[in-house]
Structure 1
Amino acid sequence: MAKTSPGHFFEDYRIGQVFRHATPRTVTTGDRALYHALYPSRFALTSSDEFARACGLPQSPLEDLAAFHVVFGKTVPDISLNAIANLGYAEGRFLRPVYPGDTLVSESEVIGLKQTSNGKSGIVWVRTTGRNQRGEAVLSYARWVMVRKRDPEAPAPEAVLPELAVAVAPEALVVPEGLDFERYDPALAGSGHLWEDYAPGEIIDHVDGVTVEDAEHMMATRLWQNTARVHFDSGARPDGRRLIYGGHVISLARALSFNGLANAQLIAAINAGAHANPCFAGDTVHAWSEVLDRALTDRPGVGALRLRLVATRGPQTPGELRDEVGKYRDTVLLDFDFWALIPMRG
């Protein structure tokens, strides 16, 4: 009897199937140090315990996306080991901060299935929840991924397409317990631009760029215990190139967004996300943001900005996302729609 697993293929999935993913992971300050070594992230709330305490938190939490990557990484052996591509995200909510010392586990439920037109693969939708050692949900999100079939002749399942919200409603955003911006120091945060200074329709060029290296990408992906073959094995793709993990691009773009959005301290929700084109080692990632909306939260002094964060291969004119026929430009790597928490003026 075989003791190794080739992973799941499209025909192995069923609606309602639940996966309790292996390998609980205790996160530490080492994860924060490695995250900051891999990405040029400078957000004060996730960099300084003292800054976080001044904002009402017990200590500096792990970067929201670091927690996301850990939870996501656990799902890969069951959901996307045989993936062709991770396609998108929706209905993501960050429900409580993750602090050094917390232990994270993940669970996913299959909520949608649809075979692709060529019959060689299919799209699998799952809803994943990450929990801490107390069983408390720290984040939840839906994602969909294209997965190979083991047998192209296997019959297609009945197509089930989940209904997913276009965006997380502002009233559904969770502000971390205790978060209070009354003693917020914009100088230490790196910018005086607060909630009131941003307007829907505004576009921000984040100016800087970071060239992706294979070594850094593979170190990051191993850090999250993401085992998808396309990220490591040069024989997993016909072109012999290792695909950069999409979350690596998200974290690079989020870190670059500090220049222009330094006070957008915490991600509260992921409304949508699309990896528009593949990223490979040698690509230089640039980013720009569009302010889509502003909202109040249930916490005085804490506002929310809905932002579209776009990562591109090389510098690109901010605001240029699609071509004349409505398709993503081939220089667009990421289209990421999220809510961020930001202080308001007193």
Structure 2
Amino acid sequence: MAEKPMSPFGELAPSTPASLSDVKKNIYGRYLEEFNVGDIYVHPRQFTVDRSFAQEFATVFMDANPLYLSAEYAKAHGFADLLVHPLMVFNLALSIGVQNNSEKALANLGYYNAQFLLPVYPGDTLSSRTKILAVDDKGPDKPGIVHVRTLCLNQKNEVVLQYERKIMIYQSNGKPKGNPKPGDASAFFPESKTPALKLPNLKFPTEMKDVTWGHTYFENFKPGQIYVHQNGRTITDEHYQWTFRVGNTHPLHYDKLYSAGISGPMGGEPVVYGGLVFGWLAGMASRDISENAIWELGFTEGYHTQPAFSGDTVTCISRILTTEDKGTEYGIPAGEVQIQFIGLKNIKANDALDKFGADLFLKENDKKKLGKEKIPEKIFEIERRLIIKKQP
């Protein structure tokens, strides 16, 4: 251990004249012209997810699945410990990449092909890196679209999550640019078009059947069912703290001075970071849908169709699209269920279904060509796929 005597240091500012000749104004994020297809960005910062952080996420975001709450339940099912919630993993992976990928973004256009490939446990350290797949430059007067693939790695450099998203970004058009670390097309990036899911040897502990209720097993779900989740969640200014707790550095989500300078629907007040909205919606649905899920396989075609702000109350509806009996393919009796998941704001889910009916389940971007009006209360749409165990 290094040891050095310490002594008090004196005040210097009053006797040091201030010079304005060397002022630093660091700028973060990239404009459209700063992205190059094939570049790989190894994002700064890592997060070690300790047990209290993992359980706090699961409880704040209201998830009912005991895999994220009870170490004993998770171990009884064959996992090494309680699981870090997949949406916590997703939020960390996305947020760590904001400084490189989207701190200059006008909007996040969508999530695609998200696949959770390996359990994350308390004590694991997560990092992320991104590859630029495509850049659609529409000219200086219109925002372009950057298509990226992001990998989330654990401390063993194993891929725990792989996903894509599309980001709307303007050219700089004369605005000051920063000095971001250049991309490196040769950087380690273990992507796969056909990644493998790696789960432990799962178990089927019938003695723990009373830890969950009995209406969310695989057999309970049938294609065509619509679950109207009865509770809402009013989002408070807590979203400021949670934005930075998961590492998201975009000022749109926590800086009122920045937000006040933006015109249009995203301006005025800080916008709730969409990954948090997704987390609250999924948590509210969990008692009806995923309490007995054994794994979140992933999600795709996810869009934030309207922003949410502090004070908004979010609600949600799920529609069962397909069910597929997998026998014991995963080591225990289970099946896969694919779900269309709809998020709403400032309207009860019951009232939304009565008011909008089947139009709720049409993609908002398809409404114009169908001659339909967009639904202003609808804020989110995505498809999820879960592994759900059968009735013991």
Do they fold alike, i.e. is TM over 0.5?
yes
The alpha carbon displacement at 1:43 in A equals: 1.1
Q: Secondary structure at the match of 1:72?
A: helix
1:51: which partner in 2? 73
Matches of 1:47 and 1:342, distance apart in 2: 17
Matched, 1:331 2:354: no
CA contact (8 A) 1:199 1:294 kept: yes
1:272: which partner in 2? 301
Matched, 1:311 2:343: yes
2:11: which partner in 1? none
The amino acid that maps onto 2:114 is G
Task: Summarize the Cα distance change of 1:219–1:34 in structure 2 as closer, same or farther, 3 Å threshold.
Answer: farther
CA contact (8 A) 1:8 1:79 kept: yes
Matches of 2:308 and 2:147, distance apart in 1: 22
The alpha carbon displacement at 1:288 in A equals: 0.7
Matched, 1:109 2:131: yes
Matched, 1:254 2:300: no
The amino acid that maps onto 2:378 is V
The alpha carbon displacement at 1:305 in A equals: 0.7
Matches of 1:277 and 1:257, distance apart in 2: 20
2:56: which partner in 1? 34
Unmatched runs of 5 consecutive residues or more in structure 2: 1-21, 176-192
The alpha carbon displacement at 1:277 in A equals: 1.0
1:62: which partner in 2? 84
Task: Summarize the Cα distance change of 1:138–1:176 in structure 2 as closer, same or farther, 3 Å threshold.
Answer: same
The alpha carbon displacement at 1:216 in A equals: 1.2
1:138: which partner in 2? 160
Matches of 1:184 and 1:133, distance apart in 2: 34
CA contact (8 A) 2:124 2:154 kept: yes
Matches within 5 A, 1:181-200: 181-183=204-206, 185-200=208-223
CA contact (8 A) 1:203 1:319 kept: no
1:163: which partner in 2? none
Matches of 1:240 and 1:116, distance apart in 2: 27
Q: 1:245 aligns with which of 263, 269, 273?
A: 273
The alpha carbon displacement at 1:152 in A equals: 7.2
Structure of higher CA gyration radius: 2
Q: Secondary structure at the match of 1:16?
A: coil
CA contact (8 A) 2:64 2:287 kept: no
Matches of 2:174 and 2:390, distance apart in 1: 55
When structure 1 is superposed on structure 2, of 286-295 and 175-184 the one drifting more is: 175-184
Matches of 1:286 and 1:208, distance apart in 2: 7
Task: Summarize the Cα distance change of 1:56–1:72 in structure 2 as closer, same or farther, 3 Å threshold.
Answer: same
The alpha carbon displacement at 1:266 in A equals: 2.9
Q: Secondary structure at the match of 1:253?
A: helix
User: Structure 1, residues 72-108: CA drift from partner, whole Å, max 9, x if none?
Assistant: 1111000110111111111110000110110111010
The alpha carbon displacement at 1:269 in A equals: 1.2
2:314: which partner in 1? 285
CA contact (8 A) 1:82 1:229 kept: no
The alpha carbon displacement at 1:265 in A equals: 4.4
Q: Secondary structure at the match of 1:293?
A: strand
Matches of 1:189 and 1:11, distance apart in 2: 51
TM norm structure 1 = 0.88
Matches of 1:250 and 1:280, distance apart in 2: 14
Unmatched runs of 5 consecutive residues or more in structure 1: 154-168
1:210: which partner in 2? 233
Q: Secondary structure at the match of 1:41?
A: coil
Task: Summarize the Cα distance change of 1:184–1:95 in structure 2 as closer, same or farther, 3 Å threshold.
Answer: farther
* Percent identical: 26
Matches of 2:231 and 2:205, distance apart in 1: 31
The alpha carbon displacement at 1:136 in A equals: 0.5
Task: Summarize the Cα distance change of 1:229–1:196 in structure 2 as closer, same or farther, 3 Å threshold.
Answer: same
CA contact (8 A) 1:173 1:268 kept: no
Q: Secondary structure at the match of 1:193?
A: coil
CA contact (8 A) 1:290 1:319 kept: no
Matches of 1:327 and 1:150, distance apart in 2: 33
Matched, 1:228 2:250: yes
Matches of 1:40 and 1:150, distance apart in 2: 40
User: Structure 1, residues 167-225: CA drift from partner, whole Å, max 9, x if none?
Assistant: xx9x9773622223353734212333311221111110111001111x21111111111
Task: Summarize the Cα distance change of 1:287–1:125 in structure 2 as closer, same or farther, 3 Å threshold.
Answer: same
User: Structure 1, residues 46-69: CA drift from partner, whole Å, max 9, x if none?
Assistant: 110011111111111110100111
CA contact (8 A) 1:122 1:148 kept: yes
The alpha carbon displacement at 1:331 in A equals: 0.9
CA contact (8 A) 1:54 1:184 kept: no
Q: Secondary structure at the match of 2:80?
A: coil
CA contact (8 A) 1:276 1:328 kept: no
CA contact (8 A) 2:140 2:170 kept: no
2:188: which partner in 1? none
Task: Summarize the Cα distance change of 1:199–1:175 in structure 2 as closer, same or farther, 3 Å threshold.
Answer: farther
Matched, 1:12 2:59: no
Matches of 1:125 and 1:296, distance apart in 2: 34
CA contact (8 A) 1:93 1:173 kept: no
User: Structure 1, residues 12-65: CA drift from partner, whole Å, max 9, x if none?
Assistant: 011111100010111111212331343112211111001111111111111010
